[in-house]
Amino acid sequence: GAVVSQHPSWVICKSGTSVKIECRSLDFQATTMFWYRQFPKQSLMLMATSNEGSKATYEQGVEKDKFLINHASLTLSTLTVTSAHPEDSSFYICSATLPTSTDTQYFGPGTRLTVL
C-alpha cells in the first residue's frame, strides 16, 4: 500500500514554456503532499507543502508564481513550472502522507525536467 506515482517521469521542454507535473496517491487519500527538488549529488530540498483544498505553503526562496501548485483532490497534486528556464532543470519529487500517519512520507518516483 501507500503508492505514489508521478507523471511524466521525464520531460524536455523549450525555455519559456510551462510544464505540468502530476503527483497521485494511488491507493490512499492524501490530505497533504510535498514537493521536493533534488539537484545532482545533493539532497532533497522541500519546495512546498500542498494541502487539499487550500493554498500551498511555500518554503523561503521558492517563487510561488513560478512554481504553481494545485491540490484539487485527495489523490492529485500538480506542480506547474511556468516560463521554465534552463536553471529550472532538476529532479522534482513529490511525497504524500497517510491521514492516519502524518509522520511518514511515501515518495513518488520523481520527474526529471530538462529545459533547453
d(CA 69, CA 78): 6
Q: Is the peptide bond before 109 cis (omega within 30 degrees of 0)?
A: no
From the list 17-25, 36-44, 63-71, 75-83, the region that binds other proteins by CB under 8 A is 36-44
Candidate list 8, 16, 99, 109; residue touching other proteins; CB under 8 A: 109
CB 1 within 8 A of CB 62: no
Is 104 a binder of other proteins (CB under 8 A)? Answer: yes
Write out the binding residues for other proteins, residues 3-32 only, by CB under 8 A. Answer: 4
Cα radius of gyration (the chain): 13
**Which of 31, 49, 70, 82 touches other proteins (CB under 8 A)?**
49
Site string for other proteins, 54-83 (x = CB under 8 A): -----x------------------------
Residues in contact with 4: Cβ distance below 8 Å, sequence separation at least 6, in sequence order? 23, 24, 25, 26, 30, 94, 95, 96, 106, 107, 108
Please report, as ranges, the residues that interact with other proteins according to CB under 8 A. Answer: 4, 34, 41-44, 46, 49, 59, 93, 95, 103-110
